[in-house]
Structure formats: structure tokens, C-alpha cells
Amino acid sequence: DVKVTQSSRYLVKRTGEKVFLECVQDMDHENMFWYRQDPGLGLRLIYFSYDVKMKEKGDIPEGYSVSREKKERFSLILESASTNQTSMYLCASVGAGQGIDTQYFGPGTRLTVL
């Protein structure tokens, strides 16, 4: 059974803290994604990675960075957390190749920045 795990389900941080959100997949997928989900705004893509050490900006990368040192792990970093980054963060992965296009999601991390 395919699995995407995220390091925390709930996280509370203070303004200005550096925050790390970790995502691990066990499906040997090439592509990994970070989204944030806010009421009324749907899913917004922050960053994605199509290979180890490769990354591309999504629609809302400001205030975030990412790291992909190993194929199975994709980290989202909030360099200096702010209250407007309070949100649900979802990680997803998908393999490469024709017809392989279903995204597999982790359970989400609900981050609160105080």
C-alpha cells in the first residue's frame, strides 16, 4: 500500500521561528509537491521537486524554501514564520512516466503561528 507520511499532524510555533515540515514517501516517486490549503482558497502549490536536489517554485513560494537531498524525502522550510503562514500544509508525490499521474497525499500538517 502506498504511503506518504508527514512529520507532524499539528504544530504550534512562534512568529520568527524557523519551521521544518518533513514529508516522506515510500513509492520511489520522482515528483513531490508542497501545497497549502486555506478555507475558500483550495489547494495552492508552494514548491515542487521532480528529482533529487531539483526544485521549482509553485504559485506562492514567497516565505518558503524546500530541500530534497534524498528521493524519498521533501522538506518545506519556513525561514521566519509569520502569522499569515498559519494553514494546513499538504505534501503529495507522483511517479514519472506516461499515464502515471495520480497524486498521493500525506495526512497534512496543521500549522499555527502565534
Pick the closer one to another protein by CB: 16 or 107.
Answer: 107
Q: Residue 7 has what DSSP assignment?
A: S
Residues 113, 5: Cα–Cα separation, whole Å: 22
Q: Residue 85 has what DSSP assignment?
A: G
Pick the closer one to another protein by CB: 19 or 94.
Answer: 94
Q: How many CB atoms are closer than 10 A to CB 78? A: 19
**In Å, what is the CA distance from 97 to each residue of 3, 26, 59, 94?**
19, 18, 24, 10
CB of 80 to another protein, least distance (A): 27
Pick the closer one to another protein by CB: 59 or 79.
Answer: 59
Residues 76, 59: Cα–Cα separation, whole Å: 15
Binding site for another protein (CB under 8 A): 4, 30-31, 33, 40-43, 45, 48, 50, 90, 92, 94-96, 98-99, 101-108
Amino acid at 67: S
Pick the closer one to another protein by CB: 86 or 105.
Answer: 105
CB of 77 to another protein, least distance (A): 20
CB of 106 to another protein, least distance (A): 5
